[in-house]
Amino acid sequence: MATIPQSVPQPPLTCPEPAWEVAFLFPSQGDWRESDYLALDTNRLVELVDGKLEVLPMPSILHQRIVDYLHSMLQRFVQKRRLGEAIFAPLPVRIRKDTLREPDVIFVARERIVKPDDKRLDGADLVMEVVSPDDGSHKRDYEKKRSDYAARKIPEYWIVDPQTERITVLILKGKAYRVHGEFASGQQATSVLLSDFAVDVSAVFDAGRKAP
């Protein structure tokens, strides 16, 4: 009678031991406070959400070129009219207790501008997010941040999506956002808060693909 060969035992998989001593220097997830977050020294974008850290994906060159283009357009517009200031990430915006978000581009009206050495903003007037291609970023920008920014009563939120090459402009009505417009290539994305501010959608995404 033929015998069934026994499987050869495999050595246990090993993985490097984490540097627990370093990990224990920081709060556990759920226990992070705003002061802990603001003292964090890292070159990665990290957000604080209800006491937990969310590490954001490393942005691509395309993402950063789009952010730079939008910030430049917005900054020129608001500076010329002395309306306030446009700022780009990283600069956290306080949403609620132990929750700070990092919008890609922020507009703050003159009365909201903080001292030069402040490390966060207490709210904003307009925020923009450039969506990264992963599913987590899509859900975060389209759903979670939409809810957070509305709860913080930020009047206008732009979702800039390189995957669909569309810009969705949301304006606050009561406690929730409604869609002012979904703008595609060949159209002008317009603001309600900032009268006469508009960007050419094709130019926005072209800026991401082409080096200056």
Looking at residue 20, its pLDDT comes to 53
Residue in the structure block whose two tokens are 């957000």: 47
Query: Could you give the percent of the chain with pLDDT greater than 70?
Result: 84
Indicate whether 119 and 77 sit together in one domain: yes
Looking at residue 6, its pLDDT comes to 52
Q: Are strands 126-130 and 156-161 parallel, antiparallel or unpaired?
A: parallel
Looking at residue 4, its pLDDT comes to 46
Highest mean pLDDT among 23-27, 38-42, 93-97, 164-168: 164-168
Tell me the two tokens of residue 76: 């020129």
Q: How would residue 13 be classed by pLDDT, with cut points 50, 70 and 90? A: low
d(CA 33, CA 51): 6
Rounded to 10°, the helix 201-209/61-80 angle is 130
Indicate whether 108 and 45 sit together in one domain: no
Q: What are phi and psi of 184, to 5 degrees?
A: -110, 175
Looking at residue 18, its pLDDT comes to 60
Is 34 domain-assigned? Answer: yes
145, 151 Cβ separation under 8 angstroms: no
Q: How would residue 2 be classed by pLDDT, with cut points 50, 70 and 90? A: very low
Looking at residue 26, its pLDDT comes to 66
d(CA 54, CA 101): 10
150, 172 Cβ separation under 8 angstroms: yes
Q: Looking at residue 80, which CATH number applies to its domain?
A: 3.90.1570.10
- At residue 18's C-alpha, the angle toward residues 13 and 24, to 5°, is 150
Is 8 domain-assigned? Answer: no
170, 135 Cβ separation under 8 angstroms: no
Is 66 domain-assigned? Answer: yes
Query: Of how many residues is the chain composed?
Result: 212
Is 170 domain-assigned? Answer: yes
Residue in the structure block whose two tokens are 């969506």: 131
Summarize pLDDT for 75-89 with one digit per residue, the tens: 999 999 999 999 998
Is 5 domain-assigned? Answer: no
Q: Which helix (H) or strand (E) holds 88?
A: strand 84-88
Q: Are strands 99-101 and 156-161 parallel, antiparallel or unpaired?
A: unpaired
Is 7 domain-assigned? Answer: no
**Side chain identity at 196, as an amino acid letter?**
D
Indicate whether 44 and 71 sit together in one domain: no
38, 94 Cβ separation under 8 angstroms: no
Indicate whether 51 and 71 sit together in one domain: no
Average pLDDT, the chain: 87
Looking at residue 57, its pLDDT comes to 86
The parent domain of residue 40 ranges over 20-55
- The Cβ of residue 62 has, within 10 Å, a number of other Cβ atoms equal to 17
